[in-house]
Structure 1
Amino acid sequence: MENDQWPTIAERAEEILGNSTPAPGQDLWRKVDEFIVETLAPKGDVGLEAALVESYELGVTPIQGQFLHLLARLRQPARILEIGTLAGYSTIWLARALREGGKLISLEHNPRFAEIARQNAATAGHGESVEIRVGPALDELPGMVSNGEEPFDVIFIDADKPNNPHYLEWALRLSRPGTLIIGDNVVRGGEVIDPASDNPKVRGVRAYIELLADDPRIDVATVLQTVGSHGHDGFAIAVVR
């Protein structure tokens, strides 16, 4: 496929999140988001701002980026794996949680997005610590395991939702005891509660959450619902046994 045939970021947003309608209370959520961003979000950070503009359609916000950073920073990671890069906004926040000399590997299937993310990471001062690998994650991950890739301290899963159960399996193979695994967009405006849903994204995140409950390699897991200017969603957060 030629580069100019790859989906735009807006098209990727629809692919990952699907269409949604405003939820009751969303205007209030948006105003609260605006207050928190105005009060706590960093200002004048060129690398972050460029990545945010290019990621906005996917519902990435400064609040969520900082939340990911705080979670990862508590783990004090030397190695982070990200599945799904887009423009690199979450990549930058996660890279800022690395120990000195640490490494973040991010997998992105779209060469155009990967190049944008590399530029944004470099602008934000993380060109040396961030490596973006291009190709379908389900092609890349088995090779990482077979090549003896060192385990990761934090793994962030934010790619196509129907494949979430497969991403979780490979994430567990690339983990060590205490690894933090974070999955994004798992509530989907509340659709996750529908066991009869024929939406492949909903089915994917339901299976993902059920695996977190059933897999003996998971020590503890929870889902945190989020609301804000981009609606109702949530993170699944788990620690490997």
Structure 2
Amino acid sequence: MKEKLWNDVDDYFTEKLHNSDPVMEAVHQNNFDAGLPGIDVSPNQGKFLKLMVKLANAKNVLEIGTLGGYSSIWMGRALPDDGRLVTLEYKNAHAIVARENIENAGLSDKIEVIEGAAIDTLPMLKSQGWTHFDLIFIDADKPSYPHYFKWALEYSRPGTVIIADNVVRGGRVLDPEDPNGKAMRDFMDLMADDTLIDGTVMQTVGSKGYDGFAIGIVK
């Protein structure tokens, strides 16, 4: 019953606060047709990310975990004309779909998809001239979140916003037997112990179930 209520409320806010969006609907359809898992952020969460990019006055954004580019497009829409978003995707099949979606959204000049394991591609960004990003969004394989957090700090400056999705995992963050829950606790330990970042977690419910975002600002 509560899951239906969460969905109904999510739908209500989407209908109230979102205009008709054929581009994003086409992204969902293209992802479905390509057999990608339906684990994108929800429309309300996508718009939240868009608003966070605007609030941060972000010009350069790093996304770790692309899937079909749904969240990439939401954030890319908030960038200024000279803004750039770099998104890292492990699977070639996902990257192909993401590039197609990004092109169809008219954002190929702003969004670059880099293929390969993020643990390998993150160090390479330095050789491409990237020294920092204004906003970093982590939404990839959960066991690597502690590593991604360390790299996020490496590519930060004072004022950089770091957001990580799926940190609550239906409450399994507290489960000592759940390996992804342990990864989230390790991630939280790093955020809590590092004096360079001020962070918190917002628990969420909706069409994606019970989860949450970690949000921090680098000092």
TM-score by length of 1: 0.84
Give, in whole Å, the separation in 2 of the partners of 1:50 and 1:171.
31
| From 41, 47, 52, the counterpart of 2:18 | 41
Matched, 1:223 2:201: yes
1:121 paired residue number: 102
Contact 1:52 1:60 in 2 (8 A): no
1:31 paired residue number: 8
1:209 paired residue number: 188
Shift of residue 56, structure 1, vs aligned partner: 6.7
For 1:139-190, what per-residue CA distance to the aligned partner results, in whole angstroms no more than 9, with x for missing partners? 0112224665221000000000010000000111011110000000000001
1:173 paired residue number: 154
Any residues of structure 2 matched to 1:58-207 within 5 Å, and which?
58=39, 60-145=41-126, 148-194=129-175, 197-207=176-186
* Structure 1 SS opposite 2:158: strand
Shift of residue 97, structure 1, vs aligned partner: 1.6
Give, in whole Å, the separation in 2 of the partners of 1:164 and 1:224.
17
Shift of residue 115, structure 1, vs aligned partner: 1.2
Number of aligned positions between the proteins: 214
Shift of residue 35, structure 1, vs aligned partner: 0.9
Matched, 1:232 2:205: no
Give, in whole Å, the separation in 1 of the partners of 2:170 and 2:154.
30
Contact 2:135 2:161 in 1 (8 A): yes
**Structure 1 segments of 4 or more deviating over 3 A?**
145-148
Which consecutive residues of structure 1, in runs of 5 or more, have no partner in the other structure? 1-23
- Report the AA paired with residue 147 of structure 2: H
Give, in whole Å, the separation in 1 of the partners of 2:181 and 2:21.
37
